[in-house]
Structure 1
Amino acid sequence: MPMWIKMKAIGKKFSWEKVLFWFVFITLVGSTVFSLVNVILAPSGAVTAVAHEKLRSDYVLMLIQCIMGIVIMFLPSMIERKLKIYVPGFMHILFVIFLYAAIYLGEVRSFYYKVPHWDTVLHTFSGAMIGALGFSIVKLLNDSEKVKINLSPVFVAVFAFSFALAIGALWEIYEFSFDKLLGLNMQKSAFEDGTPMAGRMALADTMKDLIVDALGALATSVLGYISIKYKKGWLENFEVRRLFNKM
C-alpha cells in the first residue's frame, strides 16, 4: 500500500473528539488529586488569615465536582452501549467543553468569581443544550415502531422547553441540598472569602440561573420549532438517534 494512502487512513482515525475527551479527563483527574491533597492541608475556619486563600470547604466542593465530572464524562458512551443510542460527535464535544468550562475553569480556576457572568453564560448554554436533548427524546419516540405517535412541532417545542426547565430546577435542588448537607457553596450564595450573601442578593443568583436556563431553552425551542415546521434540519447535529430502529 502506498505511503500516502497509509497516512490518509491514519488521518481518518485521528479524532478531535477523543483528543478533547482525554485532555479534559486527564485535567479532571489531576484536579481531583490536587483537591484531595488540599482538603487535608487547607484551613477550615470561616475566614482565612491570608487574603483570597481557599477554605477546606472550597476544596471539598472542588473534589466533589471533579469526581462527578469524571463519572459524567462516561455517560454518553454508557448510554450508547446500554440503550443502543448514537450520540453525535458534535453534541459530545459541546458536552465535554461544557464540563471543562464548568468544573475545571469554573471551580478549580475560580472563573465563577474572577470572570463576570461566567455562571450565567454556562447556565444559558446548558439550557440550550438540554432543550436540544428534549427534541431528541421526542424524535426517538416518533421514530419508534412500538409507540405510534406523530407529534406536532408546537408540542415538540413546548416539551423541549419544559424538559430543559425541569432539569434546571432539579439542578438547583441538587446544589441547594449539597450546600445544606456539606456546607458548600454550589449555589454561589456566598462570596469567594466565605462571607454569605444577604436577603434578595442570595435569592437573585438562583433566580437568575433559572431565568437564563429558560432563555437558553426558549431559543432552542424556537429554532427547533422552525426547523421541524419548515424542514430546515437545524438540530440534526444535536439529535441522538437509535442505532437500531427497533425498540
Structure 2
Amino acid sequence: MKKADRKSGRYRKTLREQVKENPRLAATYVILRVLVVLVLIAQIFNRNFENAFLCILTLILFTIPSFIERTIHIDVPDTLEIIILLFIFAAEILGEIQAYYVHFPYWDTMLHTLNGFLCAAIGFSLLDILNRRGSLAFQLSPLYLALVAFCFSMTIGVLWEFFECTMDQLFLLDMQKDTVVHSIGSVMLDPSGGNTPTAIQNITDVIVVTADGTQHSLGLGGYLDIGLLDTMKDLFVNFIGAVVFSIIGYFYVKNRGQGKFARRFIPQVLPPEEPSTKEK
C-alpha cells in the first residue's frame, strides 16, 4: 500500500491498526489517559470537583488531534501530536492540579515557549494548505507565510494574556503570577504631582492597610508586582517560540517540503477518499 493511501485511510483504521502503525503515539495516548483517569479518581475521592473537571477537560482536549483528522481530513504529524498531548498534560494535570507552576518557577515559561512554537505551526499550516490549493489564484511567498505564522502565534499569546487578566480581575485567580520586586519607580509617587518618576529602592517589606484600618505585613521580602512582569515574560518566550518555528517554516516552504525536520510539525491535507465499492 502506498504512503498516500495509508494516510488517506488513517481516520478509518481500527485501534489495532493505528497501534501497529504508530506505536509511540499510541503508547503516549494510553499512558497519558491512564494517568489522567487515575488523577480523576483521586480528585473525586478527595471531593475536589474543580480538579476533577480539569481532568475531564484534559481527556476531551486529548481527542482534538484525532477529531481534526477524522472530520477535516488533515493529517497531524505524529511528532506534533505527541507534543500537543504532552503540552495539554503538562499544563492541566502537572501545572494546575500538581501545582508545578508554583513548585517549578520555569514551568510556566517552558509551556509558553512551547505554546508560541505550536501556535506558529498551526497558523503556518492553515495558510500553507490554502496556498497549495490549485483553486486559489494567488501564491504566497515563504517570507509571507513565515510572517503570518509569527503574527498568528503572537495574537494567540496576547489573547491568552487578555483572558488571564480578565480572570484575575473578576475572580482574583492570580493566573498572571505575581512577582516580588525590590525597587519600583512611578510618577504617582512624585510629591509635586508632576510627571517625574520617583523611585523607591531596597524594598524589604510592604504593609497593606484595609478599609477597617487593619494592617497586614506581606512578609515577602519586597514589593508585590501584580502580574505585569509575568505577562511580559510570557509574551517574550512566546515570541521566541514563534520566531523559531517561523524560521523553520520559511525554509520548509522555500525548499517546498523537502525538509524532514519541519515536516514533523506541519499538518498536511489528506487525499480525498475513494468511494468504496460493494461486491455484488
Structure-to-structure mapping, 1:93-112, within 5 angstroms: 93-112=82-101
> Which amino acid is the alignment partner of residue 97 of structure 1?
L
Contact between 1:120 and 1:209, CA under 8 Å: does it hold in 2? yes
1:240 aligned partner, one-letter code: P
Deviation for aligned residue 1:219: 1.4
Corresponding position of 1:241: 268
> 1:176/1:198 Cα in 2 relative to 1: closer, same or farther (>3 Å)?
farther
- Write out aligned runs for 1:71-150 (5 A): 71-150=60-139
Residues 190-228 of structure 1: per-residue CA shift (max 9 Å, x gap): 89xxx8996645211112111111111011112222333
Structure 1: give runs of 5+ residues left out of the alignment.
1-8, 41-58
Change over 3 Å in CA distance of 1:37–1:136 after alignment to 2: same
In the alignment, structure 1 residue 185 sits paired with structure 2 residue 174: yes
Q: Is the contact made by 2:40 and 2:55 (CA closer than 8 Å) also made in structure 1? A: yes
- The answer to whether the 8 A contact 1:141-1:149 is kept is no
Residues 21 and 170 from structure 1, CA distance in 2 versus in 1: closer, same or farther, beyond 3 angstroms?
same
Of residues 148-157 and 200-209 in structure 1, the stretch that sits farther from structure 2 once superposed is 200-209
- Partner Cα separation in structure 2 for residue 127 and residue 205 of structure 1: 16
1:161 counterpart letter in structure 2:
F
Please tell me whether the aligned partners of residues 109 and 233 of structure 2 are also in contact (alpha carbons under 8 angstroms).
yes
Counterpart of 1:56 in structure 2 is none
| Structure 2 residue 222 is the aligned partner of structure 1 residue 214 | no
Native 8 Å contact 1:145 1:245 kept in 2: no
Task: Show the counterpart of 1:22.
Answer: 30
Deviation at 1:151, TM superposition (A): 0.5
In structure 2, relative to structure 1, the CA distance for the partners of 1:165 and 1:81 (3 Å cut) is same
Letter in 1 for 2:241: G
Q: In structure 2, do the counterparts of structure 1 residues 224 and 70 end up closer, same or farther at CA, with 3 Å as the change threshold?
A: same
Contact 1:189 1:205 in 2 (8 A): yes
Aligned-partner Cα distance in 2 for 1:37–1:100: 21
SS of alignment partner, residue 78 of structure 1: helix
Structure 2's unaligned 5+ residue stretches are 1-16, 181-217, 274-280
Question: 1:107 deviation in Å?
Answer: 1.8
Q: Do the aligned residues in 2 keep the contact of 1:144 with 1:245 (CA within 8 Å)?
A: no
Distance in 2, matches of 1:180 and 1:39, equals: 27
| TM-score normalised by structure 2 residue count | 0.67
Radius of gyration: which is bigger?
Answer: 2
> What do residues 130-171 of structure 1 show as CA deviations (whole Å, max 9, x unaligned)?
112222112110122332321011111110000001111222
RMSD: 3.0
**Kept in 1: contact 2:179–2:224 (CA 8 A):** no
Residue type matched to 1:90 in 2? T
Closer, same or farther: CA 101–79 of 1 in aligned 2, 3 Å:
same
Looking at structure 1, the residues matched to 158 and 44 of structure 2 have their Cα atoms a distance apart, in angstroms, of 29
For the residues of structure 1 that align with 2:120 and 2:140, how far apart are their CA atoms? 17
- How many Å separate the matches in 2 of 1:198 and 1:167? 30
Higher alpha-carbon deviation: 27-36 or 104-113: 27-36
Structure with the largest fraction of helix: 1
- Distance in 1, matches of 2:18 and 2:237, equals 43
Deviation at 1:33, TM superposition (A): 3.6
